[in-house]
């Protein structure tokens, strides 16, 4: 591809949010990260990202949608950094550029890897726009340089994550799970939640994924899965945001099979027995929490996908 490409050439991709069905956290490492053993599940809440051909060297991002005012459209935006990384690593003497339009459906700082999803989307969209011959594994490897949560939205489905959460192995599971998400108006800072975890648990065990969880995913039964959901960051997030304890408790009181903090929070995920139970719970929670910020989603769903290529 050359710099003389038509300016209206564009690629649109869709990238899912994630929840962590289990999140076990080990001690802090010298590099500032923690060893994790986690099981990610991609859920049907998405960001859409459109990359349009731009003059050489130009990478700009514009965020739209309900959470746009909470995202800085600057050079530090993860989507911008992802496009630049791709350009610097595989670039053709600076002949490429991209305008990135991010339509955000995933909450910001919600523990659902929304920023990471945009980085993943930018990698996939720009690789297609610039006609790069990169495999999904190549994109995930680049993604891991941008953040621990970036590779998973590229893979999707359900997967075990180890090391920082960025070394992935897909989980062969069955069925479709119906979740209700209680979103928060205010986000939580992931580094702050991990720092509070370190203060609360000074000698954590080596993290592992429970065998029972993998067995439950094999059955596809929500009732089996409900008994295996766990997040080591729950106490730390609730310490920073005491209102979360009530939200976690409300779901089970009103019919969820289990309540679970998503990642470092503050989003809370409720596992339900099926679609109609999820509809009932979502309705009740809207009233109890006095907010519209309650969503029904299902999982697993596929990872980042090309929706449209206009040439
Ligand atoms: O990789 P990412 O930039 O998304 O991580 C954000 C922060 O979350 C890290 O700087 C670190 O404080 C914390 N983190 C961690 N251990 C992990 C993943 C994230 O401590 N495995």
Express each pLDDT in 17-29 by its tens digit.
999 999 999 999 9
Per-residue model confidence as pLDDT tens digits over 68-86: 999 999 999 999 999 999 9
Cβ(164) – ligand 1 distance below 6 Å: yes
| pLDDT over 80 at 3, yes or no | no
Ligand 1 mean position, distance from CA 148 (Å): 6
Is 149 considered catalytic here?
A: yes
| pLDDT over 90 at 4, yes or no | no
Q: Output the pTM of the full model.
A: 0.96
Band of residue 2 on the pLDDT scale cut at 50, 70, 90:
very low
Q: How far apart are the first and last CA of the chain?
A: 12
Give CA–CA dist 125/186, Å, rounded.
Answer: 29
pLDDT at 8: 74
Cβ(148) – ligand 1 distance below 6 Å: yes
Q: What is the mean pLDDT of residues 157-168?
A: 98
Do the Cβ atoms of 149 and 141 come closer than 8 Å?
Answer: no
Nearest residue (CA) to ligand 1, atom 4 = 147
Band of residue 16 on the pLDDT scale cut at 50, 70, 90:
very high
| pLDDT over 90 at 139, yes or no | yes
Nearest residue (CA) to ligand 1, atom 12 = 191
Q: What is the mean pLDDT of residues 259-274?
A: 97
Cβ(34) – ligand 1 distance below 6 Å: yes
pLDDT at 195: 98
- Give me the percent of the chain exceeding a pLDDT of 70: 97
Cα angle 275, 188, 142 (rounded to 5 degrees) comes to: 85
Band of residue 55 on the pLDDT scale cut at 50, 70, 90:
very high
| pLDDT over 80 at 7, yes or no | no
pLDDT at 292: 87
Cβ(149) – ligand 1 distance below 6 Å: yes
SS3 202: coil
Q: Which residue has the higher pLDDT, 109 or 236?
A: 236
Q: What is the mean pLDDT of residues 178-195?
A: 95
Mean pLDDT of the chain: 95
Band of residue 291 on the pLDDT scale cut at 50, 70, 90:
confident
pLDDT at 93: 65
Catalytic residue chosen out of the listed positions 118, 149, 166, 232: 149
Would you put residue 131 in left (φ > 0), alpha (ψ -120 to 50) or beta? Answer: left
| pLDDT over 90 at 311, yes or no | no
Ligand 1 mean position, distance from CA 299 (Å): 24
Cβ(33) – ligand 1 distance below 6 Å: yes
| pLDDT over 80 at 138, yes or no | yes
Nearest residue (CA) to ligand 1, atom 14 = 33
Do the Cβ atoms of 248 and 231 come closer than 8 Å?
Answer: no
Pick the atom of ligand 1 nearest to 150's CA. Answer: 4
């Amino acid at each position: 591809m050359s710099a003389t490409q038509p300016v209206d050439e564009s690629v649109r991709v869709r990238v899912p949010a994630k929840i962590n069905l289990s999140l076990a956290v080990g001690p802090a490492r010298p590099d500032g990260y923690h060893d994790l053993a986690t099981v990610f599940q991609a859920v049907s809440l998405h960001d859409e990202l459109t990359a349009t051909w731009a003059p050489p060297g130009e990478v700009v991002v514009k965020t739209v949608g309900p959470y746009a005012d909470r995202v800085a459209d600057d050079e530090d935006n993860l989507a911008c950094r992802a496009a630049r990384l791709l350009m610097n690593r595989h670039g053709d003497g600076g002949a490429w550029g991209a305008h990135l339009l991010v339509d955000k459906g995933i909450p910001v700082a919600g523990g659902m890897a929304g920023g990471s999803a945009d980085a993943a989307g930018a990698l996939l969209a720009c690789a297609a726009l610039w006609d790069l011959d990169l495999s999904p594994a190549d994109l995930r490897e680049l993604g891991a340089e941008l953040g621990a949560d970036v590779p998973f939205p590229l893979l999707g489905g359900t997967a075990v994550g180890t090391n920082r959460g960025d070394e992935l192995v897909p989980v062969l599971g069955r069925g479709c799970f119906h979740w209700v998400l209680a979103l928060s108006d205010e986000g939580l800072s992931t580094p702050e939640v991990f720092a509070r975890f370190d203060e609360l648990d000074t000698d954590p065990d080596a993290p592992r994924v429970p065998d029972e969880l993998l067995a439950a995913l094999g059955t596809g039964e929500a009732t089996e899965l409900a008994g295996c959901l766990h997040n080591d960051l729950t106490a730390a997030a609730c310490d920073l945001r005491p209102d979360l304890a009530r939200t976690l408790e409300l779901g089970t009181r009103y019919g969820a099979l289990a309540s679970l903090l998503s990642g470092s929070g503050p989003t809370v995920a409720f596992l339900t027995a099926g679609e109609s139970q999820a509809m009932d719970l979502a309705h009740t929670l809207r009233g109890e929490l006095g907010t519209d910020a309650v969503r029904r989603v299902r999982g697993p769903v596929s990872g980042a996908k090309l929706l449209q290529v206009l040439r």
